Structure 1
Amino acid sequence: MFKRTALSTAIAWAFGGLAGLHLAAVQADEASPAPSAGEQTEEARSPTLAKVTVTAQKREETVQEVPASISVLGGDRLRDDALQSANEVTRYIPNASAGTTEGHGRPRWWIRGLGTGDQGANTVSPVGIYVDDVYIANISATGFPLFDQERVEVLRGPQGTLWGKNTTGGAINFISRKPTFDPSGYFKLGVGNYADRVVEGAVSDALVDDRLAARVAFRHQGRDGYSENLADNDDRGALEDDAARVQFLARINDDLEANLSLHARHYHDSAGYSTVSYGLRPDGSNQFGYRIDPSQGKVNYNAKYLADVDQAGANLNLVWQLGELELTSITAFEHFTRDGFSDSDNTPLELQRSYSYTDSQQWSQELRLASPREDRFNWVVGFHYFNEDLQSDAANAALANPYIPSFYNDVRYDQGSESYALFGSATYHFTDDFALTAGLRWTRERKDIDLERRQNQGPARFDGEDWWKLGNVASPLVVNAVQDESNTWSDYTYDLTPEYRLSDNARVYFRYAYGFRSGGYNAGVTNQATVATVDPEYLTAYELGLKSEWFDGRLNANAALFYYDYEDIQLNIVTAVNNQTVSRLANGAEGEAYGAEFELEAIPVENLHLNFALGLLHTEFTDYTSGSNDYSGNKFVRAPSVSAVIGADYRIPLEVGGALILGTDWNTRSRQYFFSNDQSQAMRSGGYTLGNARVTYELPGETSRVTAYVNNLTGKDYRNHTLPGGYQTAGLMYGDPRTFGVSVTTDF
């Protein structure tokens, strides 16, 4: 199953050594004499890692008991580490990333080499993003701010049985804190460089004793831009992000509980990742002689860059206790709109401008019936329905100038999606040590699209900054591409997982899973020949894992080996067509990926908490042709061969009361590629390491904290993304620069 390479040999050695070390430790413990009463008292006071409860398998259990690769981030950690946007959670996860092309918007989610760079509104990601168990289909709607979170669960590998289609890469579930019947909450105020300011908080209490509780949470962040525009000496990249959530928890009777969540967000961004365009000719210029030395914090363009996002939604979660069974109903609605403008050529030359608009509405219904998890034979069955209505309008235009003739093109489409699924998963414990889990899901999905592309080659009229508008096009438009089509796909996903308990503190599992990402349509059309229907892609995955706890709960050590067989891959092919950057969705390639992950969490001495994660990954397109080009042998996109995370927090109690907490985390990644077809030096990122540090003073009483932090401690310049452009140029986007600040947080 695994190719015998130096990488796989090292993985096998490390994995086997870890298991052997654990068994040796267990044997040593068994051979040791029983501790004395005094030793037992001291041991009882020894610090241990907290047991973390998750719902990765749709029922509550500790994360160490889940036979799958899963990482969990607690809400307090997200808040104390000053994480701002959902995509930032991947900085702690091996073999995962989620870079964005604007401040807090449009993340590109990747796990174990599976993801998509296509930013089309109708493109679904193979990494499923969920908020309180509700699937969010529109990738652009997944860059929401993080506030008042209970935890985030990151599941690696296909999750098609319980989490549905479009989870071949994995699933990430953001879980908000629920209302409490006792007064509780927090307030946080933060300031930093680039005029960064954050105000967030939450308050929860009972409205009717033991019957009705409410929780209100909010967040505001604003900051200036990270980039100076050389054309006008003004900052670019400023953002404002406002969000709120209101929840009501009702205990209708002893057997029925309801939680209603209402949430909204408004986001404004003037190019959080402003793009600098540099020439690809030997002297660093483009075909018109324009030249800029690309550097972080410097851009040079003459047109506006901005995005306005509005999101709102509601979900109702009902839980009935039907004797020993539990029935769960989740009804949800989400509405998302985005207006975007950009200077497409990213230069002070008047070459191109573009505009895009997206409006998506989705609603879903899930029903689940589950038996008690502790039963010898336990199961969960369910039904899921999903419906989405999506409209998109994207225009690109150029005004006649000494360099190029004017043009205008506009792609508009309406797409409807409807799917429903039946699923079930069951676990049978043959003995106290051996159990087998099997899951099956059947999904049927229908998608229809009404698309039209119009263009002209005549003159356009200039009207302020809005010369891209249809009303400013003087010559008649010609329809050069249409698609009026409907398709239905149906298929099964399944998994089989035997697990064996080696001891009270160690378990091994083997997971076989089959999943798919649903089909769709190419929205990046340039003419009728590029109109395309994209078939579903399929993934067969094999995973061998170990989960263990050592030294009386002071060390958790987990490891996993995996192999992926990837078929009919949906590819994001990015090229410059007629001097415009075009992203086209197509499929048909095949590939494989294999690797390993190791995760350690420990409290080696009192007050010191350590975590370490290592991801090793090999990816390759085994069969990939496009036209006359053969890209077989290329690597998967955003799939560094090595990724590692290490972090530490040390708490120093103070004699006067309170404590000083020193914390740091470091993230390193090797070389990675931004596109599947073009893997030249200009279209990739070299390896880099990013470090963050923080110092917290915890006041006596442990309810208030003052934290000073620095992110990107070394001020590392690194590429977040690169785009091929027209006129012999490339657009370069840098990652975040060094940022620092201070925050005050009070819990009550």
Structure 2
Amino acid sequence: MLKPHTLSIAIAWSLGGLAGIALPMVHASETTDTRSSAEDTGNPTLSKITVTAQKREETLQEVPSSISVLSGDRVRDSALQSANEVTQFIPNASAGTSEAHGRPRWWIRGLGTGDQGANTVSPVGIYVDDVYIANISATSFPLFDQERVEVLRGPQGTLWGKNTTGGAINFISRKPTFDRSGYFKAGLGSYAERVVEGALSDALIDERLAARLSFRHQGRDGYNENLADHDSQGALEDSAARLQLLARINDELEANLNLHARRYHDTAGYSTVNYGLRADGSNQFGYRVEPRQGEVNYNAKYKVNVEQTGGNLNLAWQLGELELTSITAFEHFERDAFSDGDNTPLELQRGYNYADSQQWSQELRLASPRENRLNWVLGFHYFHEDLESRTANATLDNTYISRSYNNLGYDHQSESYALFGSATYRFSDDFKLTAGLRWTRERKDIDLIRHANQGEAGFTGGDWWKIGSVGTPLVVTATQDDSNTWSDWTYDLTPEYRLADNARVYFRYAYGFRSGGYNAGVTSQATVATVNPEYLTSYELGLKSEWFDGRLNANAAVFYYDYKDIQLNIVTAVNNQTVSRLANGAQGEAYGAELELEAIPLENLHLNFAVGLLHTEFTDYTSGSDDFSGNKFVRAPNVSAVLGADYRIPLNVGGALILGTDWNSRSRQYFFSNNQTRSMRSGGYTLGNARVTWELPGETTRISAYVNNLTDKEYRNHTLPGGFQSAGVMFGDPRTLGLSVTSEF
């Protein structure tokens, strides 16, 4: 057992080292190395986690970069429902969403974007099985049958591409096996939640062809009551499947084909409560409501339908000592959504949104053996996306305001090429140097047009969102037919020194950029804009260490960001309509630290702790006549902390009882860069989850009961400025309970 004073010394030493990386959050039930070690020697140790953060397999503790890893078993056992939920285990990271399982907005160390334009790319690159997903809404693919999730902090422009100034997250699926294996899970929970998921893997041709079929379905009723009709609001159905075929063509060539699809339906999973901003709590028309979790008031429907399909072919070809990797991928995403734009029982505004994106990509990599004194990776990447977007807003009667209508549509194309390389040279057993360089060229085209009513709008058909349903004259209020090309270099330099067999220190200097684009939130010709690229220079000092014969990992990092020409999501109410537009030109800085610990102080006790400290500030930020210098970055709390524990109690009759809990705490954070008033922020909050698992004899079947948001904390997930002297707030999920059965074979 670790002695308390010894553990304190180790933690203090790590903090004093001013260095490090994130820790793998490994669930006690899947640390197989730990249990086998305990049986053989009576001395349990933490498992070694394999990652591909540098495009080659190596253990997490050996990578000189700030990374966190969530194992696939942890994802499943913690009942994570959607991709964005992984950030609740990661300090200095978050993923706000305006739907239950859709439209996530990612942030790492204060870098991210809240812009909901389908053409806007995130500075946090999201990858699914090494395939870059450009459409932010398409990054919400459900989590099931995962091998692991890797979260890389800081600019990753060399190996992971442009548009990764904030970092990269890679979701990695479990691959087919030639031995029969798999699992099945069924669960029930609050609000009539039902979950069924599973996977089956087996050989089709011995030692030559294997397949893995994975699936997941989740459904639930809504969390909220619509006071207008007393129906529940927020029901969802989310179904997804993945089929993989692994072929060993010969001793040197292996191919993995991944086909996947998703169908999602939502009726306002995160419902918005609109409240007045006048002194008496009312809006311009006297509507007054006390915003409460679980109550909404709509007179227009909320509905979201998503169809998503894709496939990728991964080839690994051994050419002597070299390995050639080819990844060919296609993704198609379609979203069709309706909303009550004013979120009140008044007929003020309703909205419609449609987006259809198709992307193709090809990556080639050639790598030398990792163990060589000089080892390297060279690569080429091609990307193309076609995007169609249509949005409409309308007021259908004139009881409160004049009937109105506007329609914004655009077609957008993006095409990029990149050449990249990274090399590591070992000067000695203790010192090595890694350097990376990437050149990217990207071209973007847009054809945009906006129509609006002239005078009071009149509607002739039931499909109000279609231009043909408006029987009164429309005028063109904005157009853009533009094409631009951007190109630039990204690079990094990382010296690493081994202090001892159990400790390594590194310094990482990295330069990244996010390419330019177009403001898709135009309201007039004056708001048509081309946005220039943004640039980030990062300095990071890190330490990665292992203690007490592998029973404690202690890692830390300190960093400083110099952020220039920042692309900003500026949200305002224009003509009583919430408008989000993209602009840039601001400067800013961020600095902070992360400390992450993972330990097995007792044979059956697994602990993890992580804390992130973050300071962000716009040092020069003006918009028109307004000066927002001194404002904080969006969704960048000064303090974020994670604490988790699992205790395994072996039973005399066989099997075990596993008690687990995890807590996530965030200090105050702001939702917008320009509006940081009290009504446009979230106060600090702490969320806790608890679970009890009965592992039956044989360790293949588990029955689990869980409680999420244990204290039923009411907290703001997002807030929007609204028209007519009002604002809308989206609350996070209330307390939920559930029971599941999981069987592995």
Taking structure 1 as the reference length, what is the TM-score of the superposition? 0.95
**Structure 1 residue 403: deviation in Å?**
1.6
The code of the aligned residue for 1:376 comes to R
Tell me the equivalent position of 1:429: 426
TM-score, length-scaled by structure 2: 0.95
Q: Does 1:334 align with 2:321?
A: no
Q: Matches of 2:213 and 2:40 in 1, distance apart?
A: 41
Give the alignment partner of residue 391 of structure 2, picking from 383, 391, 394.
394
Q: Distance in 2 between matches of 1:404 and 1:579?
A: 11
Q: C-alpha displacement at 1:518, in angstroms?
A: 1.1
Matched, 1:133 2:130: yes
Match of 2:606 in 1: 609
Q: 2:628 aligns with which of 618, 626, 631?
A: 631
1:208 is aligned to 205
Distance in 2, Cα, partners of 1:739 & 1:377: 53
Residue 55 (structure 1) shift: 0.2
> Residue 144 in 1 paired to residue 109 in 2?
no
Report what 2:188 is aligned to: 191
Indicate yes or no: 2:247 matched with 1:250. Answer: yes
1:192 partner amino acid: G
1:416: which partner in 2?
Answer: 413
The one-letter amino acid paired with 1:151 is R
Q: What does 1:557-568 align with in structure 2 at a 5 Å threshold?
A: 557-568=554-565
Matches within 5 A, 1:220-239: 220-239=217-236
- The correspondence of residues 299-314 of structure 1 with structure 2, limited to 5 A, is 299-314=296-311
Where 1:162 maps in the other structure, the secondary structure is coil
Aligned twin of 1:46: 43
Task: Tell me how far 1:466 sits from its aligned partner.
Answer: 3.7
- Give the Cα separation in 1 of the matches to 2:155 and 2:677: 30
- Alpha-carbon separation, structure 2, partners of 1:301 and 1:19: 55
Distance 1:21 1:422 in 2: 31
Alignment of 1:71-82 (within 5 A): 71-82=68-79
Q: Which of residues 85, 90, 93 is equivalent to 1:93? A: 90
Q: Distance in 2 between matches of 1:713 and 1:505?
A: 38
Contact persistence 1:75–1:151 (CA under 8 A): yes
Q: Please tell me whether the aligned partners of residues 406 and 457 of structure 1 are also in contact (alpha carbons under 8 angstroms).
A: no
Rounded Cα–Cα distance in structure 2 between residues aligned with 1:264 and 1:463: 38
Pair 1:722-2:719 in alignment? yes
Match of 2:503 in 1: 506
Between the aligned partners of 2:660 and 2:588, the Cα distance in structure 1 is 40
Give SS of 2:41's match: helix
The answer to whether structure 1 residue 649 and structure 2 residue 646 are counterparts is yes
Correspondence for 1:473: 470
- The gaps in structure 2 that reach 5 residues or longer are 1-10, 21-36
- What is the one-letter code of the residue matched to 2:266? D
Q: How far apart are the structure 2 equivalents of 1:197 and 1:526?
A: 42
CA distance in 2, matches of 1:44, 1:534: 61
Matched positions, count: 719
Q: Which residue of 2 aligns with 1:293?
A: 290
CA deviations over 1:607-636 (Å, ceiling 9, x no partner): 100000000000000000000000000000
Report the alpha carbon displacement of residue 418 of structure 1 after superposing the two structures with TM. Answer: 0.2
- Residue type of the alignment partner of 2:482: E
In 2, Cα distance between the equivalents of 1:737 and 1:373? 48
Residue 481 of structure 1: SS of its match in structure 2?
A: strand
Q: CA deviation at 1:480?
A: 1.0
Match runs of 1:552-701 below 5 Å: 552-701=549-698
2:546 to 545, 549, 566: 549
**Distance of 1:300 and 1:437 partners within structure 2:** 57
How many Å apart are 1:457 and its aligned residue?
A: 3.2
Note the 1:252-267 alignment, pairs <5 A. Answer: 252-267=249-264
**Alignment match, 2:121:** 124
> Where in structure 1 are there 5+ consecutive unaligned residues?
1-12, 23-39
Q: Deviations over 1:245-283 (max 9, x none)?
A: 000000000000000000000000001101010000010
> Helix, strand or coil for the counterpart of 1:105?
coil
Q: In the alignment, residue 664 of structure 2 is paired with which amino acid?
A: N
Query: Is residue 744 of structure 1 aligned with residue 741 of structure 2?
Result: yes
One-letter amino acid matched to 2:505: V
Measured after TM superposition, the shift of residue 458 of structure 1 is 3.5
CA deviation map 1:483-503 (0-9, x unaligned): 000000000000000000000
SS at match of 1:583: strand
| Alignment-mate amino acid for residue 600 of structure 2 | I
| Alpha-carbon contact 2:245-2:257 (below 8 Å) kept | yes
Secondary structure at the aligned position of 1:475 is classed as coil
Query: Which string of whole-angstrom CA distances, capped at 9 and with x for unpartnered residues, describes residues 396-438 of structure 1?
Result: 1112323211111111000000001000000000000000000
Distance 1:743 1:684, change over 3 A: same
CA distance in 2, matches of 1:376, 1:721: 50
Name the CA shift for 1:126/1:210 in 2 (closer, same or farther; >3 Å): same
SS in 1 for 2:249: strand
1:150-196 deviations in Å (ceiling 9; x for gaps): 00000010000000001000000000000000000000000001000
Q: Give the whole-Å Cα distance in 2 for the aligned partners of 1:672 and 1:692.
A: 22
| Rounded Cα–Cα distance in structure 1 between residues aligned with 2:478 and 2:276 | 32
Higher mean displacement: 521-530 or 43-52: 43-52
Larger mean CA deviation between 684-693 and 40-49 belongs to 40-49
Q: Residues 21 and 448 (structure 1 numbering): CA distance in 2 closer, same or farther, change over 3 Å?
A: closer
Q: Residues 119 and 41 of structure 1: is their aligned pair in 2 closer, same or farther, counting only changes over 3 Å?
A: closer
Does structure 1 retain, via aligned residues, the 8 Å contact 2:156–2:164?
yes
Report the counterpart of residue 348 of structure 1 in structure 2: 345
Are 2:18 and 2:556, in contact at CA under 8 Å, matched by a contact in 1? no
CA distance in 1, matches of 2:462, 2:218: 28
CA distance in 2, matches of 1:292, 1:474: 35
Cα distance in 1 for residues equivalent to 2:317 and 2:730 = 50
2:158 partner SS: helix
Residue number in structure 2 paired with 1:268: 265
Change (3 A) 1:731 1:19: same
Q: Identify the residue that residue 7 of structure 1 maps to in structure 2.
A: none
Match of 1:406 among 380, 403, 409: 403
Instruction: Determine what percentage of the aligned residue pairs are the same residue.
Output: 81
Cα deviation, residue 735, structure 1: 0.5
**Where do residues 9-88 of structure 1 align in structure 2 (5 Å cutoff)?**
17-19=15-17, 44-88=41-85
The aligned residue for residue 27 of structure 2 is none
Structure 1 residue ranges (4+ consecutive) displaced by more than 4 angstroms after TM superposition: 13-18, 40-43, 461-465
CA contact (8 A) 2:443 2:485 kept: yes
Q: Per-residue deviation at 1:293? A: 0.5
Kindly report the root-mean-square deviation, in angstroms, between the aligned alpha carbons of the 2 structures.
1.5
Partner Cα separation in structure 1 for residue 502 and residue 42 of structure 2? 20
Distance 1:159 1:463 in 2: 52
Between 1 and 2, higher relative CO (CA 8 Å, sep ≥ 6) is seen in 2
Report the alpha carbon displacement of residue 41 of structure 1 after superposing the two structures with TM. Answer: 10
Which residue of 112, 116, 123 corresponds with 1:115?
A: 112
Give the Cα separation in 1 of the matches to 2:470 and 2:38: 82
Distance in 1 between residues matched to 2:621 and 2:455, nearest whole Å: 39
- 2:654–2:696 contact (8 Å) kept in structure 1: yes
Other-structure match for 1:377: 374
Indicate conservation of the 8 Å contact 1:458/1:474, yes or no: no
Tell me the amino acid that sits aligned with residue 721 of structure 2.
P
CA contact (8 A) 2:459 2:472 kept: no
Name the SS for the 2:602 alignment partner.
Answer: coil
The match for 1:219 is: 216
